[in-house]
């Protein structure tokens, strides 16, 4: 029995990637915030759909963390950010739901497009052993901006969840999957699972959930 949770705007009140980068720059090297205007050309190309999401994310990483961040420093800032999220950045209802699923004997999985290195730090603080996330690249013991492989988003997230199940020896026809997410981009995963639930849904996801009769939870009202 799997209980799969998206992270950004599902469990977290805000998306986590940009806040993480600003948190890292502010706490490690505040001068790097002066480089933010250099992102404008890439942001414009991304808005025009001339470059993919991964290119934008890599440029943002370079701005905040530089070209090479030693692994020890990366682990330290990831854990500090995870602590910050647990203290003030997550929905209490989501934390309670994770605990309820765990108490029911279900295997909890965090599946997100956010980078693995800080998502894993958050998962450890939440007692979640299984994480599916965008893989970061490491060279000579340092974190570098390049995303390793595809961004864990949309159909790729479903493929990674299926690969995780296969590696864990979980047959799809023998598994019962629940999935919570806020965004219609996760439709491939919603269609894979047995119990889909829209959480804090975007307008498009709310429309799909209403049409298909999926449960809708909105913690933003609280």
The structure's pTM equals: 0.92
* Domain made up of 2-221: CATH architecture: 3-Layer(aba) Sandwich (3.40)
Structure tokens given for 112 = 């997100």
Encode pLDDT of 47-57 as tens digits. Answer: 999 998 889 98
What is the chain's length? Answer: 222
CA 123/CA 172 separation, integer angstroms: 24
**Contact (CB, 8 A) for 83 and 122:** no
pLDDT of residue 222: 58
Domain boundaries, the chain: 2-221
List the chain residues with pLDDT less than 70.
222
Query: Smallest Cα–Cα separation from 116: which of 83, 165, 149, 73?
Result: 149
CA-based diameter of the chain, in Å? 53
């Amino acid at each position: 029995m799997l209980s799969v949770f998206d992270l950004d705007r599902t469990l977290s009140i805000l998306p986590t990637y940009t806040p993480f980068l600003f948190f890292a720059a502010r706490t490690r090297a505040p001068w790097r915030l002066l480089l933010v205007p250099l992102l404008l050309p890439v942001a414009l190309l991304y808005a025009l759909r001339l470059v993919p999401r991964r290119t934008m994310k890599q440029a943002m990483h370079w701005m905040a963390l530089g070209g090479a961040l030693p692994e020890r420093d990366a682990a330290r800032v990831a854990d500090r950010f995870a602590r910050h999220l647990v203290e003030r950045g997550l929905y209490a209802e989501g934390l309670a739901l994770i605990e309820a699923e765990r108490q029911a004997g279900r295997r909890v999985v965090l599946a997100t497009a956010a980078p693995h290195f800080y998502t894993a730090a958050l998962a450890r603080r939440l007692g979640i052993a299984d994480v599916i996330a965008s893989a970061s690249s490491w060279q000579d013991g340092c974190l570098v901006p390049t995303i390793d492989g595809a961004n864990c988003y949309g159909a790729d997230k479903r493929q990674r969840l299926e690969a995780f199940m296969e590696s864990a020896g979980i047959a799809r026809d023998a598994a019962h999957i629940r999935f919570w997410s806020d965004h219609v981009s996760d439709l491939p995963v919603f269609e894979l699972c047995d119990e889909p639930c829209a959480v804090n849904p975007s307008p498009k996801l709310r429309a799909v959930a209403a049409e298909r009769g999926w449960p809708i939870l909105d913690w933003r009202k609280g």
